[in-house]
């Protein structure tokens, strides 16, 4: 069995943008807010404990967004962890407006993106955002205008690196003609691989790939997981095997599993210690229909 005290550092490191090293098993801070990613958490003390425990377990990369709450996730991160450890990288996002629980609306007007970056700096208690991601490309606004706003923020020293979320290979290429791109955050897991071409492009160009919903929104995590039998062979849980598979799939992969419970966080982080051979990685891929 894998020790639940395993450290995220065992997953190895990746240098975001070529100059910002993070442990490759991060934490996604969407689930620490209320239902529908709206409002305060049901258990505030547990949410704060999750964040503090993540850092204790070696997590050096936390991903959040202005729309989580809205703003509440960023505020909880500051409350739990500020002043931040020197090696902690906090990434946030803007470009989705919220009007209620589970309601998301693309909004990429340059003035809005700049406003939200300023708000994120305030909520997180930072002078510079290490990674600021365009949460979604807004089809109603020229891409050059959206990324132009982020480039202006970068020139002002308010953000360090620029990231994208839910993009195609063509969109990634178009974006890179306008601005340097340090990361791409697309949905991806062992059973959902519609973005293989994007991952391959990121690997060729040294761009971090941040898979959201890395355990298929929980479908690969429970006792009925299609990975349950293979996980048992390794003496690990299905969620640990799922995350380990991602880490072995590509050196640019930086999974960001999220949770609102310390026990689940410890289980997730233990995946950093799981070792798979190349043959085992390919076997899992074939088993899930790659």
Active site amino acids: 68
DSSP string, the chain: ---TT--GGGG-EEEETTTEEEESS-EETTTTS-TTTBSS-S-HHHHHHHHHHHHHTT--EEE--TTTBTTHHHHHHHHHHPSPPTT-EEEEEE-EEEEETTEEEE---HHHHHHHHHHHHHHHT-SSEEEEEESS--TTS-HHHHHHHHHHHHHTTSEEEEEEES--HHHHHHHHTTS---EEE-B-BTTB-TTHHHHHHHHHHT-EE--BSTTGGGTTTSTT-TTHHHHHHHTS-HHHHHHHHHHHH-TTB------S-HHHHHHHHGGGG----HHHHHHHHHHTT-
């Amino acid at each position: 069995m894998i020790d639940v005290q395993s450290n995220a550092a065992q997953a190895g490191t990746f240098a975001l943008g070529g100059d910002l090293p993070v442990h490759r098993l991060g934490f996604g801070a969407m689930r620490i807010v209320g239902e529908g990613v709206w409002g305060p958490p049901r258990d505030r003390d547990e949410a704060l404990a999750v964040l503090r425990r993540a850092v204790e377990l070696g997590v050096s990369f936390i991903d959040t967004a202005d729309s989580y709450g809205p703003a509440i996730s960023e505020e909880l991160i500051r409350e739990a962890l500020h002043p931040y450890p020197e090696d902690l990288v906090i990434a946030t996002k803007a470009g989705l407006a919220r009007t209620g629980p589970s309601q998301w609306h693309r909004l990429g007007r340059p003035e809005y993106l700049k406003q939200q970056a300023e708000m994120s700096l305030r909520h997180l208690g930072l002078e510079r955002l290490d990674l600021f991601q365009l949460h979604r490309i807004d089809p109603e606004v020229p891409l050059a205008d959206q990324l132009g706003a982020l480039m202006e923020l970068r020139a002002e020293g308010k953000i360090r690196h620029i990231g994208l979320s839910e993009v195609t290979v063509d969109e990634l290429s178009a974006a890179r003609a306008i601005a340097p791109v340090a990361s791409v955050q697309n949905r991806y897991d062992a059973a959902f691989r519609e973005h293989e071409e994007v991952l391959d492009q990121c690997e060729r160009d040294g761009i971090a790939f941040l898979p959201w919903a890395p355990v298929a929104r929980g479908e690969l995590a429970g006792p009925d997981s299609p990975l349950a039998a293979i996980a048992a062979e390794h003496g690990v849980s299905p969620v640990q095997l799922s995350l380990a598979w991602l880490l072995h799939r590509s050196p640019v992969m930086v999974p960001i599993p999220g949770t609102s419970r310390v026990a689940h966080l410890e289980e997730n982080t233990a995946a950093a210690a799981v070792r798979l051979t190349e043959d085992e990685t390919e076997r899992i891929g074939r088993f899930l229909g790659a």
